[in-house]
Structure 1
Amino acid sequence: MGNPENTESATEAGSANERGSWTRGSVQHRLEGLIRENRFTIAVVFPFVGAVTLVASAEGLLPAPLAYNPLFILFGTLVMRSPLVVGLLPRIGGWALACLGVLTVYTYAIEIVGVRTDWPYGAFEYTIQLGPMLLDAVPLALPLFFIPLVINAYLLTLLILGDRSDAAHYRIPAAIAAVVAIDLVLDPAAVAIGFWAFVPPGVYYGVPVSNYVGWVLSGTVAVVLVDLAFDRRALLERVRDCEFVLDDLVSFVLLWGTINLLYSNWLAAGVAGLFCLGLFGTDRYDLEMVRTSFPGRR
C-alpha cells in the first residue's frame, strides 16, 4: 500500500494544479488561442453570412422564423465582437469597468430620449425588434451594438495617429470623426434592410443630417469616456501586441459595406472602403495575413 501522507499530498497538488489552470491568465490564453484559430470564420464568414441573411430578410426571401431572427442577430454580433473583447480583457480593470458602466447608462439614456423626443438624432423608430426591448423603446443589447463601434474607432485612431495620439487635441476630435464616419456606413445600410426608419426620410440614403449632428454629440461623450477608461500607453501597447483586436472592425466593414454595395449606397460603401485603407495602414492586415488566417494555413 502507498503512504497515505504521500497520497494526500499528491491529491492536494493535483487540486492546486487544477485551480491554477483556471487563473485569469490561463483563461485569457485559452480565449486568445480560440480567437486565433478561428479568425477567418469570425472576421469574414460571419459578416458575409450576416449580410446575406439580413438582405434576404429585407427582401422577403427567408421564412418567418428565420427572417430578422433576433437570436441569430445577437449571436452573430457576440461572435464578431469577441476579438475586441478578448483582446482588451487584460486592460479592463475596476476603473475601466466603471467608465464603461457610465457609458452603458448614457447609451440607453440618449437612445430612449431620441426615440421619445426625436432629439438629438431626428424622428426615427425601430421597425424590427433586435432582441428584448428596454422600456418598450430601445434594444436591451444596445450597448453591445454601440460601445464596441466607439472603441474600434478610438483604437484605429490611436494606431493611425501614432505619436500624435499623445495630444488630446488630435486624439479626441479624430476619434469623434471616426465614430461619425462609422455611422456614415451603418445607418444607410440599417435603413435599407429595415432595422429602423427616419420620418421623414433624410437626404443621405434615407438618413437625415440631424442624425449625424446627434452622433457628434453622443460620439463626443462616448469617446471622452473611453479615453478616460484606459491607460492610453498600456492600451496602445496591448493593441500593437494583439494582432486580432481590430478584427471586429473588419467584420463591421465587411457586413455593412457589403449591404451598402448591394443596395447601391455608393457613398456609404466608399466610406467603408476608407476604413479598409485605414486598417491596411496599421500594418497588421495584408495579403500574407489573409492567407495565414484561412483554417489550416497557420
Structure 2
Amino acid sequence: MDEPTDVRVRSSASRENLQRRLDAVVRENRFTIAVVFPVVGAVTLVGSAEGVVPEPFAYNALLLLFGTAVMRSPLLVGLLPRIDRRGVGALGLLTAYTYAIEFVGVRTGWPYGTFEYGIRLGPMVADEVPLALPLFFVPLVANAYLLTVLVLGDRARSLPLRLGGAVAAVVAVDLVLDPGAVAVGFWTYVPPGGYYGVPLSNYLGWLLSGAVGVVLFDLAFGLDPEAREALLERVRTCEFALDDLVSFVLLWGTINACYGNWLAVGVAGLFGLGLLRTERYDLEMVRTAIPGGSDGSERG
C-alpha cells in the first residue's frame, strides 16, 4: 500500500470512528434532546413573554442559541455522512440566500410583509438580521424535505411530486412557527395579519423561500438518484435523524396551545402524524430513549 492510499484509508477510518461516536452521543441523549429541551424552551419563552421569567434569563440569547443548536444536533449528525462537496456547496448557497432574502425583507417588506424583530436573537449582522439565521431556517427546509420524501416513498422519484410536496411542507412549517413566534414576541407584522397576527403576504413569501430552499437542498442530496437513495437509507436506518422535527412539534405546538392558536396546533399535529407514520418517535421510541430502557440501537 503506497503512502497516499494509506493516508486516505486512515482518514476514512477516522471519519467513521468520529461518526460512530457522534451517533452514540445523540442516541444516548435522545429523550433529553428531542423532548426535554423543547418543553423547557416552550415554558421559558412563554414565561419570558408573560413577564414571569426574571432577568437575565428572560429571552436570554445565549440560552436560546444553545438550546436551538442542541435540538438541531440530531439532524446534523444524521446528515453528516451524506454531505459531500456538492452538498457543502448547495448548503452554502442556501445559507447565502437565507441572509439575502432576510435583509431584503427587513429593509423593504418584500416578500413576507413589513415586520420588525421584537427581541435580539443573538448577535445581529448590520444590526438588522440575526447572525444565527441559517441555524433557524435551513433545518426547517431539511426537515420538511426529508419527511416529505419518506412519506412519499417510491413516489419521491418524481421530481415535481418531490419538490412540490416539500415546498408545501415548508409552508406548513411556517403555519406553526410564525404564529408562535409572534405570540412570544420574536417579531411583529405591521399591520398585523388575520392568521394569529401573521399576514397572507408572509406565506406567499414562504412559497418563494421554500421553493428556493427545497431546490437547493435537492441539489445537495437529491439530484443524483444514487445519492438520494443513500441519503434516504441513512435517514431510514438512523432512528434519530428527524428528532429535530420532533423538537419543533413539541416546542411550537406547546407555545401555540398556550396562546390558543388552535389551527397552528392542528398543523403541528399533522407533522406529528407524519413522524408516527415514518416510525420516528412513537411510545416505544420514548421508552428506549429514557435512561434504563433498551440500548436504542439503529433499526435496519
What is the TM-score when the length of structure 1 is the normalising length?
0.92
CA distance in 2, matches of 1:126, 1:295: 39
Give 1:136 deviation, angstroms. Answer: 1.2
Identical-residue share of aligned pairs (%): 71
2:127 counterpart of 1:101: no
The residue number in structure 1 matching 2:255 is 259
Counterpart of 2:66 in structure 1: which amino acid? F
The residue number in structure 1 matching 2:298 is none
Q: 2:55 aligns with which of 56, 64, 67?
A: 64
Counterpart of 1:108 in structure 2: which amino acid? Y
1:6-85 → structure 2 map (5 Å cutoff): 23-85=14-76
Q: 2:282 aligns with which of 278, 286, 296?
A: 286
The residue number in structure 2 matching 1:129 is 120
2:173 counterpart of 1:177: no
Unpaired segments ≥5 residues, structure 2: 1-6, 222-226, 295-300
Conserved? CA contact 2:242–2:280, under 8 Å: no
Give 1:108 deviation, angstroms. Answer: 0.2
CA distance in 1, matches of 2:136, 2:182: 15
Counterpart of 2:249 in structure 1: which amino acid? V
Counterpart of 1:269 in structure 2: which amino acid? V
Give 1:91 deviation, angstroms. Answer: 0.4
Give 1:283 deviation, angstroms. Answer: 2.3
Larger Rg, first or second structure (1 or 2): 1
The residue number in structure 2 matching 1:157 is 148
CA distance in 2, matches of 1:55, 1:205: 16
What are the Cα deviations for residues 54-97 of structure 1, in whole angstroms up to 9, with x where unaligned?
A: 00000011122111000000000000000000000000111100
CA distance in 1, matches of 2:110, 2:121: 21
2:235 counterpart of 1:239: yes
The residue number in structure 2 matching 1:211 is 202
The residue number in structure 2 matching 1:89 is 80
CA distance in 2, matches of 1:173, 1:284: 23
Unpaired segments ≥5 residues, structure 1: 1-15
2:266 counterpart of 1:270: yes
CA distance in 1, matches of 2:280, 2:255: 25
The residue number in structure 2 matching 1:3 is none
CA distance in 1, matches of 2:95, 2:247: 22
Q: 1:192 aligns with which of 173, 183, 187?
A: 183
CA distance in 1, matches of 2:292, 2:126: 46
Counterpart of 2:285 in structure 1: which amino acid? M
RMSD between aligned residues:
1.4
Give the 3-state SS of the residue equivalent to 1:23 in structure 2. Answer: helix
Q: 1:228 aligns with which of 201, 219, 222?
A: 219
CA distance in 1, matches of 2:35, 2:161: 32
CA distance in 2, matches of 1:146, 1:284: 22
Q: 2:105 aligns with which of 94, 110, 114?
A: 114
CA distance in 1, matches of 2:85, 2:201: 36
CA distance in 2, matches of 1:38, 1:240: 19
CA distance in 1, matches of 2:246, 2:206: 21
Spell out structure 1 runs of 4+ moving beyond 3 A: 19-22
Give 1:20 deviation, angstroms. Answer: 7.6
The count of corresponding residues between Structure 1 and Structure 2 is 281
The residue number in structure 2 matching 1:4 is none
CA distance in 2, matches of 1:21, 1:218: 36
CA distance in 2, matches of 1:164, 1:171: 8
CA distance in 2, matches of 1:207, 1:291: 38
Give the 3-state SS of the residue equivalent to 2:249 in structure 1. Answer: helix
Give the 3-state SS of the residue equivalent to 2:166 in structure 1. Answer: helix
